[in-house]
Amino acid sequence: MREKLLLFVVFILISFKCYSQQFYAANSLGQLLLVTMTNTGPTYQYVQGCGDYRYFSIAISGSKIYFNSVNGVLYSADITTNTYPIANCTQISASVAGNALTIDKEGVLYYANGYQLYSIDSKSANPVPKLLGTMPYSAGGDLAFFNNVLYMAAPQGIVAVNLTDPSKSTLYISIPGKFILGLANVVKNGKNIIYAFDSEFSGTNILELDMQNQKVVGVVGTLPFMVYDAGSATEAGIVERINISSFNINQECDVFNKANLAIVCKPDTNQYTFTLNTGQKNTTGIFNSLAPGKYQLNIKSNGVQLPTDTSFVVPDFTVNNPVITATLKNPICDITGTIKLDAGTSNAAYSIKYGGNIFGFDHKFTGLAAGTYHFTILNSKGCVADEKDYVLQRDVCPPIVVSNIKVDPECAVFGQASVTVTTVAHPDHYVYTFNNVSDTTGVFNFIKPGTFDLVITSSGGDKVTQQVIVPDYTLNKPAITYMVKNADCALPGEVKFTVNGNSNGASTIKHEADLYALDQTIKNLSPGVNYFSVLNQQGCVVDTLLVNIPQNECMPIVFPNTFTPNGDNINDIFRPNQNSDPVIYKLLVYDRWGVLIFQSKSLYNGWDGRYNNKPVPSGVYYWVAKYTLPDNKNSTQSGYVTLIR
C-alpha cells in the first residue's frame, strides 16, 4: 500500500483497479479475474474474494463491486489492496436471480432474467428488486451503459434497451453466429468503447465494437476461459476527468523566494501522476522550491479517468520586501571589515540570519576578513524573506608618511621641549618610539636637549626611522638682572627684576602662584632661595631664576642696670648694646625728682653721667627708651640704672 500526503489528507491508493482497458471478468467456474489489455494481448490474474465465492454476474462502480451468485444472492464489496482484494462483502438482497448485471451513475443496479428487466437501488436502506418490463430479446449474459444508453448482450447481438419501455428495446448491432455473454465498457486512447465477449468452451474472443457505426471492429484478444460476465469502472457509460479539489500555493519558509505547490484531487481509487512543464514529476502532487513564474501542469490517472491540464503562477514573493541597504567597510592593514544592514522603517519587523544565529537590524557585523558574506533576511514569522550577498575586498595598506615633526619649548618646564609627530591619515594603528618611550599618540613631553631617533611602527607591518634634534632653549634666555632687599627681622625681603637687552619674549614674572610685571618690585619674600619663572605672553616659561634673599639679624635692644663713669673706659657710658639696628631711637634719663637730665636719638650716643656738663652724684636714675626696629615694630622700654663712682 502506498501512502500519499496531500495537505495532511492521506489517500489509500489501490495497486490494481479498473485501469484503462482493464476490467473484471467472472468465468464459468464462478471465479473473479482482473484482465488487462496490453499491446501483446490480454493478461489476467485471479482475485480472491468474499461472500459465497461464486461470481455469476458482476458490476463495478468506483471502488465498489456488486455481484450475484448462482443462488441469486446479491452482494456489495470493497475493492482493496488487501491479501483478499474483495473484502467487506455485504448482502443486499437474497432474491436477485439474473445472468446480466450493471450499474448506472446514480448507483441504480440493473439486471436481466431472461426477457425480464429489473432494477434495484444499491443505496436504499431496504433494497427491493423492481420489475421494469419485458424485452423482446432474452439476455445473453451482460448489461453495460454507453453514452447514457443501456445495452444488453443477446443471442442475436447487442440490444439497445429502452429503460422507459423495455418492450421497445431494439437490436442495435447484429452479430450472427456468435455466443455473446459479457460486455465491458473501457477507455481506449482516451475514448469510451465496448468490448463484447464471444465465449466458447475452449475460451473467449474479445470483440471491439464500433458503437457509433453499429459494427464489430474485430477480435482484439483471446482469453483461455469462458467469460460469463464482465465489469469495469466505466460500465455506467461515464468517463470522468480528473477533478482537482484544491490547489494550494504557499511561500516556502526556509527557501528564498520559492513556493510549494500542493494539489489535492477528488478522492479516487486510481493513482495520479503529476507532471510540470519543467519535467518535474511525482505521484504525490507536492512540488517544492518552485521559482516565481508560470507553469503548466498535467495530471494523469492510471485508471480510466481522463487527464487534466491546467496552469498556475507562482508569484514573486519579494515584491513587498523592504529595501535592504548595506554599509560596508573593507578590511585594510590589520583592521577587519564591518557590514551594517538597514531595512529602513521595517527594521523592527525583520531579522537577519547569519552563521546559524539570528540578529536584529541594530547589529553590526564586525571582525570580517575579505570575502563574500551571505545574509538571510527573515520576516516576523521567521521565514526567509530575502537573501543578500556582500563582498568585502582587502584595501591596500598605505605606507607610513610623516607629514610634520614639531619641536616646541615645553611651556611649563624651562629648558625642555615637547615633540609632536604628525603622520598622514591612516587606517591602522601606529606605535611611536622616542627617547626610549613608546606610545600611540606621537606626542612626547619634557624632552631635554639632544639628538634622538624617532621610530614609527604600523600594525600593518610598516616601519619608519627618522632623526629628531631637540635644541637647547636655555641658550636663548632673556637678559634679566635683579636687585635684592634683604629681610630684616620679621620684615620680608624684596627683589626687582630689570631686562637688560634681549627679552626673548619675557612678559611677566611668576613667583609661586602670583604673577608680576617685569619691572614690578616683588615684596614679601621669605629669607632664603626663592624660585622665579620668567613667562612670555603665552604663559610659557622662558627662564627660571633662583634668587637668595639674605636675612639681616635682628638683635634685641638691651640696657645695663649699672654703669661707672670713672674714666677707666670700662662701662663709662649708659647705652644699649651696639649690635642692634633700630631705624628710630630715643633715650630719656630722669633724676629722682623727674627732671630730664639726658636725651639721645642715636644708639651710639649714651649718657656719660653728667648734667649741664657736671657730674651727677651716685645714685639711681630712671630711663625711658622708645625705638622702631627694621621690621617697623615700635617698642618702649624703661627702667632704673645705678650710677656708681
**pTM recorded for the entire structure:** 0.45
Fold of 402-474: Immunoglobulin-like (2.60.40)
- At the topology level of CATH, where does 325-392 sit? Immunoglobulin-like (2.60.40)
Per-residue DSSP letter, 617? P
Tell me phi and psi for residue 223, to 5 degrees.
Answer: -110, 145
Question: One fold for both 15-231 and 562-643?
Answer: no
Instruction: Name which residue leads in pLDDT, 468 or 13.
Output: 468
CATH architecture of 477-552: Sandwich (2.60)
pLDDT tens per residue, range 579-613: 888 889 999 999 999 999 999 999 999 999 999 99
User: Given the DSSP bridges, would you call strands 180-188 and 351-354 parallel, antiparallel or unpaired?
Assistant: unpaired
Average pLDDT, the chain: 89
> Residue 115 has what DSSP assignment?
T
In 381-486, the DSSP E strands lie at 384-392, 402-409, 417-423, 430-434, 437-439, 443-447, 450-458, 463-470, 480-485
Candidate from 216-230, 341-355, 478-492 with smallest mean pLDDT: 478-492
Q: Over 80: is that where the pLDDT of 194 sits? A: yes
Alpha-carbon distance of 314 to 249, in angstroms, equals 7
Higher-confidence position of 505 and 135: 135
Rounded distance between C-alpha atoms, residue 222 and residue 385, angstroms? 63
Q: Identify the pLDDT of residue 451.
A: 95
Please compute the mean of the pLDDT values over residues 452-479 and round it to a whole number: 92
DSSP state string for 345-391: GGGGG-EEEETTEEE-TT-EEEEE-SEEEEEEEE-TTS-EEEEEEEE
Q: Are 256 and 226 in contact (CB under 8 A)?
A: no
- Give the per-residue pLDDT at 195: 94
Mean pLDDT confidence for 414-432: 93
- Is the model's pLDDT at 471 over the cut of 50? yes
pLDDT mean over 251-257: 90
Q: What is the DSSP string of 166-180?
A: GGG-EEEEE-TT--E
CA distance to 134, 170, 211, per residue, from 165 (Å): 8, 11, 22
CATH topology of domain 244-313: Immunoglobulin-like (2.60.40)
Mean pLDDT, residues 564-580 taken together: 92
Q: What is the mean pLDDT of residues 275-301?
A: 93
Q: What percent of the chain shows pLDDT beyond 90? A: 63
What is the per-residue pLDDT for 17? 37
Residue 234 burial by CB count (10 A; 0-12/13-18/19+): exposed, middle or buried? buried
CATH number for the 15-231 domain, one of 1.10.3720.10, 2.120.10.30, 3.40.50.720, 2.40.128.50? 2.120.10.30
pLDDT digits (tens, 9 = 90+) for 514-533: 999 988 999 999 999 999 99
pLDDT band at residue 14 under the 50/70/90 scheme: very low
pLDDT at residue number 523:
93
Mean pLDDT, residues 134-139 taken together: 96
Query: Are residues 492 and 471 in contact, defined by beta-carbon separation less than 8 angstroms?
Result: no
Q: Which residue has the cell 631637540?
A: 470
Hey, what's the cell of 145? 451503459
Domain ranges of the chain: 15-231, 244-313, 325-392, 402-474, 477-552, 562-643
pLDDT for position 49: 81
d(CA 497, CA 511): 12
Query: What mean pLDDT do residues 313-333 have?
Result: 92
Give residues with Cβ within 8 angstroms of 510, minimum separation 6.
516, 532, 533, 534, 535
pLDDT for residue 331 is more than 90: yes
Average pLDDT over residues 173-185: 91
Quote the CA–CA distance of 95 and 128 in Å, as a whole number: 9
Q: Which of 71-85, 194-208, 318-332 has the lowest mean pLDDT?
A: 71-85
Which residues is 493 bridged to in the sheet?
Answer: 525
Give φ, ψ of 31 to 5 degrees. Answer: -90, 155
Write out the CATH class of domain 562-643.
mainly beta
Q: Is the CB of residue 57 less than 8 Å from the CB of residue 152?
A: no
Confidence band (pLDDT; 50, 70, 90) for 82? confident
**Rounded mean pLDDT, 269-281:** 87
Cβ burial, residue 493 (10 Å; 0-12/13-18/19+): buried
Q: Which amino acid is at 170?
A: T
Q: Where does the pLDDT of residue 238 fall: very low under 50, low under 70, confident under 90, or very high at 90 and above?
A: low
How would residue 190 be classed by pLDDT, with cut points 50, 70 and 90? low
- pLDDT given at position 496: 94
Q: Provide mean pLDDT across the span 177-186.
A: 90
| Residue 9's pLDDT band (cuts 50, 70, 90) | very low
Position 239 scores a pLDDT of 65
Residue 645 has pLDDT above 80, yes or no: yes
Euclidean distance between CA atoms 121 and 14, whole angstroms: 26
Residue 573's Cβ-count burial label (10 Å; 0-12, 13-18, 19+) is middle
Residue 6: pLDDT band with limits 50, 70, 90: very low
